[in-house]
A and B are shown apart, each in its own frame.
Chain A
Amino acid sequence: MRHDHLLTAKQLSRADIETVLDRAAAFDGDPGSARERHADKLLALCFFEPSTRTKMSFETAMKRLGGDVVDMGPVESSSVKKGESLADTARVVEGYGDGIVLRHPKQGSAKMASEYVDVPVLNAGDGAGHHPSQTLLDLYTIREHAGLDDISIGIMGDLKYGRTVHSLAHALTNFDARQHFVSPESLRLPRSVRYDLHESGAQVREHEDLDAVLPNLDVLYVTRIQRERFPDEEEYEAVAGEYSIDMDTLEAARDDLAVMHPLPRVDEISPAVDDTDAATYFEQAHNGVPVRMALLDLLLNDE
């Protein structure tokens, strides 16, 4: 992978993605092979928004590679609170770590930070923008269950604000994947993402209703619809109910359907589904570790 930073899924070619996934599979199969690979390295974690899960996953990955992490801590107790710019924070933290993992509420923040530093920047979520390490673990999980070519994938829920959705949609254009987007009209994919998908010649369809496409799907990727996207509670309840999965929904699905979710979930997947073969979301979360190990291994290498 010939990149200095990991900023968006869009920057990744098919070969890049396969390189990461193959290395992740190698670490997954033989965790001992990773033990001392980055024993002298420190990874700086800069999370300007709370995210226990992604942060823990990066921390675990770095420690499994033999390295360690330094954590900026919560924003409330940092110099950011005193009005420091991200450009300054990045240049200071560059002196502490061999790489920077950044989560920040503004879109394009990781790209900007990368312009100020010489160490690799890994975008761990930039507002409604991108979340490429999540995408790679999603792809890893999809590959394990259905392969990445000649598949039909349904992507459902909040497609407008869901950065995991945007990144995944971009990445899937590298493969022979038919993408079905299922959402209420008000939460359709944003124009800029539709533009890219169109430009790439991706096989994309949009639906307001899951029923029509569900029987054909290899993978159903569910995302959370957030309450705050709706003006009133009643409207939210109606929409959220319509875009959720339970045992009845699965009746119409193929036996080998994999249901995925970036987690945390609230009501969009009924707990009853957890015990079925379709439930793939916890495995998906666990895959974050080998995939982030592979990413760090590739980006932190001095070669």
Chain B
Amino acid sequence: MSDRELRVSKIQSGTVIDHVSAGEALHVLSLLGIDGTKGTTVSLGMNVPSERLGRKDVVKVESRELSDDEAEVLSLIAPEATINIIRDYDVVDKRRVEPPEEVSGVLVCPNRDCITNAGEPVETAFAVLDDGLRCEYCGEIVREDITDHLQD
């Protein structure tokens, strides 16, 4: 099997996330909570030549269709990504990710004095800014390393 075949090899059903910013593929997996322990078949292409991005990453996940919520969060670390939903080797849905106005319940606020870190039943909520995220409760701004703040 040549390199080229490996990269484009089709999956039967699941999700192909294309045009991920180069080097972000592992973050995408952690964002989706995929660490390989649950037996999901995952293939990655990293720093693959791309017409649109120069270099890009590609993530293929078997037997799992990305939800709209997951796609929204994905946009935070891979704003150029396209999501292809595959069923029976066919692309049944192809869409660009759209940054949401707010993300709920995905990230943990880095401010330890925030009410969302106080054992209350409340879900975290972050407003999406042009250049980062902002906690709707305490106002803390997250700009770098968003994936460091993912909920378990």
Residues of B within 8 A of A87 (CB): 120-122
B36 smallest CB distance to A (angstroms): 36
Residues of A within 8 A of B120 (CB): 85-87, 112
B136 contacts chain A at the CB level, 8 A cutoff: yes
Complex interface residues of chain A between 68 and 119 (CB less than 8 A to chain B): 85-87, 104-109, 111-112, 115
Residues of B within 8 A of A86 (CB): 115, 118, 120
Q: How far is the CA of A128 from the CA of B139 in the complex (A)?
A: 11
Q: Are B141 and A115 in contact (CB under 8 A)?
A: no
Q: How far is the CA of A30 from the CA of B73 in the complex (A)?
A: 55
Quick one: given A107-B111, A108-B115, A108-B116, are A192 and B139 in contact (CB under 8 Å)?
yes
Interface size class of B (residues with CB under 8 A): 10 to 19
Interface majority SS on B: helix, strand, loop or mixed?
loop
Q: How far is the CA of A112 from the CA of B135 in the complex (A)?
A: 12
Quick one: given A107-B111, A111-B136, are A195 and B118 in contact (CB under 8 Å)?
no
A249 smallest CB distance to B (angstroms): 33
B134 contacts chain A at the CB level, 8 A cutoff: yes
Q: Which residue of B lies closest to A196 (CB)?
A: B139
Q: How far is the CA of A107 from the CA of B114 in the complex (A)?
A: 5
Q: How far is the CA of A139 from the CA of B134 in the complex (A)?
A: 27
Q: How far is the CA of A191 from the CA of B140 in the complex (A)?
A: 8
B118 smallest CB distance to A (angstroms): 5
Q: How far is the CA of A86 from the CA of B116 in the complex (A)?
A: 11
Q: Are B137 and A107 in contact (CB under 8 A)?
A: yes
| A192 in complex: contacting residue of B113, B115, B122, B134, CB < 8 Å | B134
Complex interface residues of chain A between 126 and 157 (CB less than 8 A to chain B): 126-129
Q: Are B135 and A108 in contact (CB under 8 A)?
A: yes
Q: Are A111 and B121 in contact (CB under 8 A)?
A: no
